Chain A
């Protein structure tokens, strides 16, 4: 039982963490919580299945195409649902615009793909049909790779520094001559790729199913809130803790009560630390 909780919990938690990082990456350059994050995860599974299983492409090529499509959806999100409402951030119109786009993505997928879950291909094979199967360790590996990659990008590259500068203060960044719009589009493309990778790596667990989007939207948001908005390390820890807690609750109390347990934990943590476990309280001039 413990092995099952660990394997499933970490795998699902890693997927949630990746969706949390998708939220963060989009938020960092735009101050917008884009609710297309979960749909990007859904598309990762659907496109992965389309390219690899239905069209028969080798999986590395299928993965590349999936990431490219995810990036494209990220860019479209920026142009269609984010840019038009940036001037009135205080009215939170982005909630409507990104939710509307997310709904459109889901409906188009339902009509053009299928309304029933479709299989996702085996990629590498595993070490038997046990807790060491690839479907359990692939999401964890993908999550660790993304976190390490982002750390390298943000700390070691000029582009990463530019991202951080825009995230810190976009007016100052623009005054320094940084191409803020282009950087924002690039961050949405990056987020699109990360979201799609979450769905691709977790495809064997979640299947290629058009209705995975809202589920990932909800559960991917919790690590962001738990770990602190914009904090990828927080999202990683928050996601893994959430996955483990959820799977434990499934074993201990089951079904409907497991969801209640997860949201109870979420509310308790937010009451204790409103800025998230790893977030820092921000001073505000009054």
Chain B
């Protein structure tokens, strides 16, 4: 029978208090504890395609790091929650990940609608968060000092599109078309304003209901106004395909430049003729674009070689896989470099990154700038050149 007398109890308590006061190393709780990465993923539901791609990169990165011994001996544990693209479910998942699953950092969500709801919650909990959502207001180091963007913002997309139109295509008269969603209206308006600021003439600005079966009225108006390029801001592949088919039927060879959805593989099946997809240039990324000889840059080539046989690229985009991989690696690197998985340590480490060489891009963050993706790496791709998730650089780039 074990007995404890009062004297022994007092001595033990005093010893423990002394040890704490003297700053003895804490028991190795964090050492063996896995590094838990929350993954807020819209794995099912209407906007699941990017997430499926991101997830392949996430799983590949976690397996690669764990296979090499983990992060300072700690295994990475991916805590995935399916938000189905629904902001309400995303909010619940974030709260559960923070309070129950006790994750150390969160990657995601992957669409702006969810991020608008979850970013303030993560800010309140000081949870290190990295996401690929494009809406500009999601990144604000003063309001959300823990939120970092791994992909370009809407403004960076817009800058790249405008730069291609004005400097490479050298056009002056521009038509800007968006769909009638909140995103389409806002993006088209902002794009038109920026074109005007840069001295271009916006001859037509319109919003089209993406389910409108016939696009002839809008393209006729743009042609009659003298448009030399059509800039499109819409996530609707159906609307994109209808625009391309209508352009062909009108016998007009005006180029389309704009949103990445114009390069979606789904469009191929909706075209009346494959040639209707020519002269369409969608937002792409230098790291995931191949040159005339069919080569990606060296880092991406090496990454694709590592993926071969393990991760399918034929039905997804390389940048999704690469960004998912980079997100997990950025979290792991922060813990490895600082030796801590405390939120402020991770955030401080990210704030000091300069041209960190990821697969998707070279990320630079400062305490005042959490848009880490380099604008010069946002380029235009030939929309109809998709091959294993990457695209050919649009004409005009060296």
Contact = CB atoms under 8 A, between A and B. Distances in A.
B216 A255 contact: no
A207 B238 contact: yes
Interface stretch (B13-21, B201-209, B381-389): B201-209
A206 B8 CA distance: 82
B309 interface: no
A116 B237 contact: yes
B213 interface: yes
Contacts of A256: 180, 185, 207, 209
Given A110-B46, A119-B270, A4 B238 contact: no
Interface stretch (B217-225, B326-334, B343-351, B356-364): B217-225
A154 to B, nearest CB: 31
Contact of A251 (B220, B241, B249): B220
Interface in A60-119: 110-111, 114-119
B249 A129 contact: yes
Contacts, number: 76
B211 A206 contact: yes
Interface string A102-146: 000000001100111111000000000100000000000000000
B266 A206 contact: no
Contacts of B180: 255-256, 259
Do most interface residues of chain A lie in helix, strand or loop, or is the interface mixed? Answer: helix
Interface string B35-50: 0000000001111110
B272 interface: yes
Contacts of B45: 110-111, 115
Given A1-B220, A12-B213, A129-B249, A255 B270 contact: no
A13 to B, nearest CB: 11
Could you say which interface size class chain A belongs to? 20 to 34
Interface in B163-212: 180, 185, 206-209, 211-212
B48 A115 contact: yes
A52 interface: no
Interface string B218-248: 1011000000000000001110010000000
A255 B206 CA distance: 7
A8 interface: yes
Contacts of A117: 236-238, 241, 266, 270
A33 interface: no
Nearest to A252: B217
A255 B208 contact: yes
A212 interface: yes
A255 B47 contact: no
Contacts of A111: 44-45
Contacts of B95: none
Contact of B266 (A110, A116, A215, A258): A116
Contacts of B66: none
Q: Most A CB atoms within 10 A — which of B47, B217, B241? A: B217
17 contacts: A4-B217, A12-B214, A110-B45, A111-B44, A115-B46, A115-B48, A116-B237, A116-B238, A117-B236, A118-B270, A119-B269, A205-B214, A207-B238, A215-B211, A255-B180, A255-B207, A256-B180
Interface of B: 44-49, 180, 185, 206-209, 211-214, 216-218, 220-221, 236-238, 241, 249, 264, 266, 269-270, 272
Given A205-B214, A251-B217, A255-B218, 15 more contacts: A1-B220, A4-B214, A8-B214, A11-B213, A114-B266, A116-B238, A116-B266, A117-B237, A209-B238, A211-B211, A250-B212, A254-B208, A256-B185, A256-B207, A259-B209
